[in-house]
Chain A
């Protein structure tokens, strides 16, 4: 498909379980972002990749969260030892590398809804 693809769409995890969420960005998009959206809230930034380089991980809430994009395309967000407060929708977005003074929109996937029980 032409859009950003995320899998799985839904994930139920038992507390303490590790999970891996996948994002397949639009082909050729250099920038990739992960956001966390709690129920009734707007998305909050987690981390940013430019190609395979993780340039910003300031939004990751704890060291249980880890993201990678080893070949500069598909990205995986891993959460270790999940806690109930990790329950949220995890959104992935990609965009073309933008140049100074210009802006390009970010294209979002449908998200993965994680429920920790």
Chain B
């Protein structure tokens, strides 16, 4: 079974509008961390936001916020006021356990390609 599921292969959003990228996860470990990364065409993975499984509040980082619904095992990324530079691949990832599975490696979804239209 997929540990991280991103059901949207591609998304379009109008510049200055908000967009939600979906992510569901599967784990039986009570302690885990959820991450979102942005991968532009240049190839590097850019960290955006992190949510710990015990965090009471949804994480926010500037225009990025994470809609964490623990019971539903979902961790959707919300980007407000989209900009043309937000066009990229977006990956949801999970690390299991307080020290992480395999000492902290990340398990990634297949990604969502976001295109921002002017």
Contact = CB atoms under 8 A, between A and B. Distances in A.
B95 A103 contact: yes
Contacts, number: 72
Given A42-B110, A48-B102, A56-B105, 15 more contacts: A31-B104, A33-B105, A42-B93, A43-B108, A44-B108, A45-B106, A50-B103, A56-B102, A89-B43, A98-B99, A103-B52, A105-B50, A108-B37, A108-B46, A113-B43
A55 interface: yes
Interface in A16-63: 31, 33, 35, 40-45, 48, 50, 55-56, 58-59
Given A103-B33, A105-B35, A42 B103 contact: no
A31 B100 CA distance: 12
B33 to A, nearest CB: 4
Contacts of B37: 108
Interface string A88-117: 010101010010110101111111010000
A58 B45 contact: no
Contacts of A50: 103
A42 B109 contact: yes
**Most chain-A Cβ atoms within 10 A of its Cβ — which of B4, B45, B91, B95?**
B45
Q: How many residues of B sit at the interface, in one of the four size bands? A: 20 to 34
5 contacts: A41-B110, A42-B91, A42-B111, A45-B107, A89-B43
Contacts of B105: 33, 45, 48, 56, 59
Interface of A: 31, 33, 35, 40-45, 48, 50, 55-56, 58-59, 89, 91, 93, 95, 98, 100-101, 103, 105-111, 113
Contact of B102 (A43, A58, A98, A107): A58
B44 A98 contact: no
Given A100-B98, A105-B50, A111 B43 contact: yes
